[in-house]
Amino acid sequence: MEDVTGEAALAWVRERNAETVAALAGAPAFKVLENGIREVLDDDGRIPYVARRGRHLYNFWQDADHVRGVWRRTTPEEYRTDRPAWETVLDLDALAAAEGEKWAWAGSSVLAPEHRHALVMLSRDGADACVVREFDLDTLEFVEGGFEVAEAKTRIGWIDRDRIWIGTDFGPGSMSGSGYPLQVRRWRRGTPLHEAETVYEGRPSDLSASGWHDDTPGFERDFVHRQIDFWRQELFLLPEDGSDGPPLKIDVPDDAGASVHREWLIVTPKTPWLGHPAGSLLAFDFDAFLAGQREAAVLFTPDERTALAGYSWTRHHLVLGTTADVSSRMEILTPGADGWRRAPLPGVPPLSTAWVSCTDSDVDDDYFLNVSGFLQPSTLYAGTAGGGSEGEAGEAGADETVKQAPALFDTAGLAVRRHFATSADGTRVPYFVVGPEDRPGPGPTLLYGYGGFEISQAPHYSPVTGRAWLARGGTYVVAGIRGGGEYGPAWHRAALGADRVRAFEDFAAVARDLTARGITTPAQLGIEGGSNGGLLMGAMLTRHPELFGAVVAHVPLLDMLRFHRLLAGASWIAEYGDPDDPADRPHLEEISPYHQVRAEGAPYPPLLLLTSTRDDRVHPGHARKMAARLREHGHSVLFHEHLGGGHAGATDHGQTAFNEALVHTFLWERLTPRR
C-alpha cells in the first residue's frame, strides 16, 4: 500500500475506485450535482485576484475553457472595469498538449524593478515538487538556455539578472529527511547548476534552508533562513555582496517569526519575550536591534479573545489584521518620529473575514482588501493607506468597490450564528453555524474541523458548500478547535504533541453541543476534514463513533507510527511527536486511527476516504491502509484515489467537482435516509 505507483497497489486502488463510483456516481442526481458544482467553480463572475508586477496585474485563472489554467495580465485601469481585457502570458493547456505533460501551476518569481524576467514553477499533475524554467515577460516565451531546474521541492528566487538563490536536490546530503533543500547556493547564469556556490548549509536534522534577496531600493540585502523544525527557525543577514564574514544571526527566539522591511524588524513571539506576551506584534529599528538595543514598538497585544491574523506593508504604512472571537478587525498603522499611530479600517461586518490581497510596498500605499462571510460573497475594495500622504495615518478606508463576486446560491432563510461549546477540561470552544433560521427541529448537518498547525477556521464564502449542501436544506458548521490559531499561539500549543487529544475533545464537544441545542442528532451529523483534519476525522471515527452518522476524510494523515517515514512526514514531528522516541510513541499510538481500528464495540459510522496518487506531501498509503484495515474488520468504507491532484486532491475544476459530488452525495444519502 505504501508503494505509491506499484502495480499491485494501483490494481487495488482501481478496484476501490470502481466500487465507490458504482455506489455514489451512478444515479442521475449525481451528475446534476456535479454539474451544479462545476458551474460555480467555472463561473466567470469570480473575482480574479491579482499580484502587482510593475505596470501589470497578474492572475492565474481556470475555467471550462482553460482546464489547466492560464497565466494572464492586465493593467490597473483595465482591471477596474467590469470585464477587463486580459493578455495571455502562459497557457498551461497549450503547454501540456505540446509537451505531453499534465502541467499544473505552481507559482512564479518575477525580477524587480524591470519585471521582465520570471522564474516559472510547473508541477506535474499537482505534486509539491516542481520544475523551474526562466520566462521572458516581454517576448512571452521561455528563455532558451536560461535558468532551468529539474523536478524537486526547489526553493528559488532572483538576486539580479544573472544570479539566483537556489536550494534543490544536489544529490546525497543536500535534502532533508522531509525532502526539502538543506543547501543555499548562489547560481550564476551560464554556469552549471552543480557548480553553484554554496553559501549556507543546514544540519542533517533540519527541515530546510533557503536564501532570498531583498530588492527594496535603498535597503538591498540578502538573508538565509534556517528551518530547524516546523516551529523553530533562525534568520541570518548575509554580508554585503563580495565582503567576507559569516552570516549574522538575528537574535530573536527560535520559535518567533521575524521579517525585515526597510528599516523595520517585525517580530511575532510565540512565547513570552522581553516582557511581551506570546502572540504580540513588535517592531524594532533594525539597525538599532543589530547594535544590541531591544526597545520595541508594540503594534498588537492579544488578550483571551483576540489574536493576530496577519499584516501587510504598503510604502509608508502597515495594514494590520486581527480577530476577536474569530471575526476580523483591520487597522492602518503608521510609523513616525513620535511613535506608531493607528486608525481603524471600517467597513468589515461582524462574523466576516478580511485580508489584504495585493500591495506593492516599494511603490505606493495602495492596497486591495477582500471581505467575505459565510453568506456574503467576496467584495474586493481598493484603498490608499493614509490617503496617500507620506507618514500620515489619515482617514483609513477602503471605499472603492473594485470587484463583487456573484451570489451563487440562495441565502433566503439562512442565518449565521456563533456559539461556544465547553470541552472536557472546561475550555470554551467557538464554532459557527450556518443554516435555516427557523428549522422546526434537528436536520442534516455537516461539521468541518482542522485543529492543527496554528491554522484558523474563519468565516468564508463557499459557493460549493452553498450549492451542494445549504441549498438542499443542510446546516453547515465550522469548529475553531485547539491546535489551530483562532486564539493565537497558546491555542495552538494546547494541542501539541501528547496534548493532541485536546483537539479531539474540543471537536467532540462541539458535536455534543449541536445535538444539545437541537440543531441535529448523531444520526444526522456528518463530519469532514482533510490532511491534519483527516487525522481528526480518523480520531472521531475510532474514538466517538456514537456521535456521528457519516465521516469524510481527504488526503488524511492516519498512521501516526510511520508518518515520519513517508514523504514530507518528518517535517511534522514538531507538531505531533517522534514515533522513534520512547517518550512520544505511546501517545502517538493512542491517537493513531490506523492502530485504533477495532472489530468489536460500537459500529463505526460509514466512512469516505479520498486521496491522490500524486500527493507527495501526505502519502496516499495513509488512506489506502486505513481503508484496507477497516474492510478487514467488516466496517463500512468507500475509497477513491485520483491518479493526479497532489495534496489538494485535484488540479482542475472537473476533478474538484467530481470529488465534491462524491462527498455530498455520500453525506446526503447517509444523513437523510429514505423512509
d(CA 387, CA 316): 11
d(CA 482, CA 489): 10
Residues β-bridged to residue 607: 551, 637
User: Do 620 and 611 form a contact (C-beta atoms < 8 A)?
Assistant: yes
531 in active site:
yes
**Identified catalytic residue from 531, 571, 592, 612:** 531
Collapse the DSSP code of 654 into the 3-class scheme (helix H, G, I; strand E, B; otherwise coil) and give the result: helix
From residue 62, give the alpha-carbon distance in Å to each of 2, 479, 656: 32, 30, 12
Collapse the DSSP code of 127 into the 3-class scheme (helix H, G, I; strand E, B; otherwise coil) and give the result: coil
User: Do 534 and 557 form a contact (C-beta atoms < 8 A)?
Assistant: yes
Q: What is the DSSP letter of 605?
A: P
Cβ neighbours of residue 670 under 8 Å, at least 6 residues apart?
A: 526, 549, 550, 605, 606
The torsion angle over the Cα atoms of residues 62, 64, 68 and 73, rounded to 10 degrees, is: -40
User: Do 367 and 358 form a contact (C-beta atoms < 8 A)?
Assistant: yes
d(CA 501, CA 508): 10
E-strand stretches of 531-636: 550-554, 607-612
Helices and strands, number each (H, E), in the chain: 14, 37
What does the angle CA 113 – CA 120 – CA 72 come to, to the nearest 5 degrees?
A: 75
* Pairing of the two strands 197-201 and 525-530: unpaired
d(CA 258, CA 643): 39
Burial class (CB in 10 A: 0-12, 13-18, 19+), 634: exposed
- Cell of residue 450, nine digits: 482542522
d(CA 595, CA 626): 9
* Closest C-alpha to 76, from 58, 59, 56, 60: 56
Collapse the DSSP code of 35 into the 3-class scheme (helix H, G, I; strand E, B; otherwise coil) and give the result: helix
From residue 614, give the alpha-carbon distance in Å to each of 67, 155, 493, 660: 18, 20, 31, 19
d(CA 201, CA 205): 11
Would residue 454 be called left, alpha or beta, if left means φ above 0 and alpha means ψ between -120 and 50 degrees?
left
* Closest C-alpha to 491, from 514, 457, 460, 461: 457
Rg (the chain; Cα; Å): 25
**Identified catalytic residue from 66, 635, 647, 653:** 647
d(CA 376, CA 466): 11
Catalytically active residues, by annotation:
531, 647
